[in-house]
């Protein structure tokens, strides 16, 4: 979480008009999931392979030892009991700390609070999101007035435009709901590289749908109890913050389901996040994903070719500007 700041800038397009309608500004909060069970098994297998190589084959070269460690790591990942591996207790603590760190950044004015989120469908990311948001939303924040990109309100093809055309000085019911509920989109596009190993295999869309329904029910129960204790509280104007998971009812399709996805293919998939970000109604977006995906997103879409790998539950915050017309990166600034 405390890696040194990095920044990269792409050349600005030479010709564009109506800057406000061409540019799309986003604050991106990138978070890797906390430690998962298979992460522990991988580390144990690699260390055991290293010790064995040193004891039995003292003449092994560093490259040979590294290959034996990698083979041991991959062997562990074939364990069917690690299907969609959950967080460890340490991983849950890391997710809580990530939520505290995010709240601290917002308290210090480093970045505005996220107003929309997307998460990988793998359980380790869903758990991380749930714990992080529980911790983060214990703090009360003022939702910034610019949580929706004003340029999107100029785009007649954007659904958000239609909702805002009828806005008045008073907040509409939809606007009020956005202030109180952070929508967390479960997006298969941001899941880990397709390795065909059990830990990287998510639940089916039907299973995810039932999970989201269960989460929503669990969140509603304490809210209903709180409302019963204070019937005089106007829930529409309550300052409490909530979040809700939403599954889009789809899974990755194509080659990724049939063969191992290469790093090049993963980078191509990560670059398509541009289109997903353009779908988001809000400009301050929390993204909870995986080491491999986040690496290719930073090095590809954001142009940060020297960006280091994410640690478990690490948080990085960027302010980015895209040009919608030629679908290019205008600028990127590391905030934390």
Q: Which residues pair with 281 in a beta bridge?
A: none
* Class of the CATH domain delimited by 7-36+85-334: alpha beta
Q: Which two tokens stand for residue 309?
A: 């790998």
Structure tokens at 180: 């109180």
- Pair of tokens at residue 6: 């990095």
264 pLDDT more than 60: yes
The count of other CB atoms within 10 Å of the CB of residue 6 is 17
Choice between 248 and 51, residue whose per-residue pLDDT is larger: 51
In tens, the pLDDT along 172-207 reads 333 333 346 899 999 999 999 999 899 999 998 888
The number of residues in the chain equals: 336
3-state secondary structure of 224: helix
Per-residue pLDDT, 254:
45
Q: Are 317 and 28 in contact (CB under 8 A)?
A: yes
> What count of Cα atoms within 13 Å lies in the side-chain half-sphere of residue 77?
18
Residue 43 in 3-state DSSP?
A: helix
Q: What is the pLDDT of residues 287-311, one digit of tens each?
A: 999 999 999 999 999 999 999 999 9
Cβ atoms within 10 Å, residue 134: 14
Q: Which residue intervals of 61-120 are DSSP H helices?
A: 62-76, 89-107
CA separation for the pair 152, 105 (Å, rounded) = 27
Tokens of 163: 């909702």
- pLDDT level of residue 145 (50, 70, 90 thresholds): low
Digit-coded pLDDT (tens) for 102-139: 999 999 999 999 999 999 999 999 999 999 999 887 77
- The CA distance from 269 to 274, in Å, is 10
pLDDT digits (tens, 9 = 90+) for 28-47: 999 999 999 999 999 999 99
H helices of the chain, in order, are 19-22, 37-56, 62-76, 89-107, 123-136, 159-165, 173-180, 205-229, 263-271, 273-279, 291-296
Please give the Cα distance from 240 to 249 (Å, whole number): 29
- Could you tell me the two tokens for 129? 């999101």
- Burial degree of 218 (CB within 10 A; 0-12, 13-18, 19+): exposed
* Six-digit token string for 204: 């089916």
Q: For the packed helices 123-136 and 89-107, what is the interaxial angle rounded to 10 degrees?
A: 40
Edge-first strand order for the sheet with 242-247 is 7-9, 328-334, 315-323, 23-32, 284-289, 116-119, 181-186, 242-247
Sign for the CA dihedral angle at 164, 17, 272, 101 comes to: negative
Give me 32's structure tokens: 């890797």
pLDDT (tens digit, 9 = 90+) per residue, 56-74? 777 888 999 999 999 999 9
The CA-CA-CA angle for residues 130, 215, 194, to 5°, reads 60
- pLDDT at residue 332, rounded to an integer: 96
- Tell me the domain boundaries of the chain: 7-36+85-334
Give the pair of three-digit tokens for residue 322: 């895209």
Q: Please tell me the distance from the alpha carbon of residue 87 to that of residue 199, in angstroms, as a whole number.
A: 11
- Pair of tokens at residue 218: 């669990």
Rounded to an integer, what is the distance from CA 294 to the centroid of its chain?
A: 9
pLDDT (tens digit, 9 = 90+) per residue, 78-96? 999 999 999 999 999 999 9
């Amino acid at each position: 979480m405390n890696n040194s700041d990095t920044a990269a800038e792409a050349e600005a397009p030479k010709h564009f008009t109506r800057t406000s309608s061409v540019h799309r500004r986003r604050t991106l909060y990138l978070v890797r999931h906390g430690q998962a069970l298979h992460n522990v098994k991988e580390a144990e297998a690699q260390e055991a392979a290293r010790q064995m190589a040193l004891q039995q084959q003292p003449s092994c070269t560093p490259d040979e030892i590294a290959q034996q460690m990698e083979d041991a790591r991959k062997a562990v990942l074939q364990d069917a009991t690690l299907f969609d591996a959950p967080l460890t207790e340490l991983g849950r603590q890391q997710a809580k700390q990530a939520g505290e760190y995010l709240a601290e950044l917002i308290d210090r004015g480093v970045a505005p609070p996220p107003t929309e989120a997307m998460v990988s469908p793998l359980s380790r990311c869903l758990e991380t999101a749930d714990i992080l948001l529980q911790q983060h939303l214990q703090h009360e924040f003022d939702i910034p007035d610019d949580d929706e990109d004003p340029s999107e309100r100029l785009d007649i093809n954007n659904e958000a435009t239609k909702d805002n055309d009828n806005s008045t000085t008073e907040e509409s019911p939809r606007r009020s709901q956005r202030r109180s509920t952070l929508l967390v989109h479960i997006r298969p596009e941001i899941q880990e590289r397709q390795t065909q190993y059990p830990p990287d295999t998510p639940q089916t869309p039907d299973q995810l749908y039932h999970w989201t329904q269960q989460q929503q029910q669990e969140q509603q129960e304490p809210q209903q109890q709180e409302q019963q204790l204070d019937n005089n509280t106007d829930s529409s104007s309550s300052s409490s913050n909530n979040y809700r998971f939403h599954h889009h009812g789809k899974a990755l399709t194509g080659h990724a389901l049939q063969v191992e996805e290469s790093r090049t293919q993963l980078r191509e998939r990560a670059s398509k996040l541009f289109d997903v970000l353009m779908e988001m109604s809000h400009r301050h977006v929390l993204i909870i994903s995986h080491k491999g995906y986040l690496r290719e997103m930073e090095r590809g879409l954001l142009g940060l070719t020297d960006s280091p790998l994410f640690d478990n539950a690490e948080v990085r915050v960027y302010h980015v500007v895209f040009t919608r017309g030629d679908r290019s990166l205008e600028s990127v600034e590391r905030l934390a």
